[in-house]
Structure 1
Amino acid sequence: MAPVGPRASKEEFMLALGLSTHDPGHEQIYRAMRDEAIVVYNRLNEDNSNLLDSVAHDPSTRPPFFWHHIRPERQRWGITEIFQNSGQLTHQFFARGVTTGEYGPNWVAGWLLYSVFRSRDVRNNRNRRKGDDHSQTSKTVKKQEEPAPQKRYYDPVRNG
Structure 2
Amino acid sequence: MSAIAPLAMSQTKDELVNHLNLHPETYALMAKEAEAAYKWLTKGETHLKKNCKRKPPYDWNDIAEKSKDEAIIRIAQGGNEYTSYYWNLATPTPDCPNWIARWFLYHKFRYRDGRNKGKSERNKEKKKNEAIRLDSSLAGSSSPEATSVQPEASGSTGQAQYVTTPVYEQQAFYDPVRDL
User: What is the TM-score with the length of structure 2 in the denominator?
Assistant: 0.62
Matched, 1:106 2:98: yes
CA distance, structure 2, for counterparts of residue 90 and residue 131 of structure 1: 37
- Report the structure, 1 or 2, having the larger helix content: 1
Alignment partner, residue 67 of structure 2: 74
SS at match of 1:97: coil
RMSD: 1.7
User: 2:107 & 2:77 partners in 1: Cα distance?
Assistant: 19
Q: Deviations over 1:59-108 (max 9, x none)?
A: xx322211001000001011111011111111100010233165x21011
Is contact 1:3–1:16 with CA below 8 Å preserved after alignment?
Answer: no
- Write the deviation string for residues 9-36 of structure 1: whole angstroms up to 9, x where unpaired: 11111122123xxxxxx11100000000
Residue correspondence of structure 1 range 64-143 to structure 2 within 5 A: 64-100=57-93, 104-122=96-114, 124=115, 126-131=116-121
Distance 1:101 1:7, change over 3 A: farther
Provide the rounded CA distance (Å) in 2 between the counterparts of 1:97 and 1:130: 36
Assess, with a 3 A threshold, how the Cα gap between structure 1 residues 101 and 9 changes in structure 2: closer, same or farther.
farther
CA distance in 2, matches of 1:101, 1:130: 40
Structure of higher RCO (CA pairs closer than 8 Å, 6+ residues apart)? 1
Higher strand share: 2
Q: What are the ranges of 5 or more consecutive residues in structure 2 without an aligned counterpart? A: 123-180
User: What is the percentage of aligned positions where both structures have the same residue?
Assistant: 29
Whole-angstrom CA distance in 1 between matches of 2:10 and 2:113: 15
Instruction: Return the index of the structure with the highest Cα Rg.
Output: 2
Alignment size in residue pairs: 119
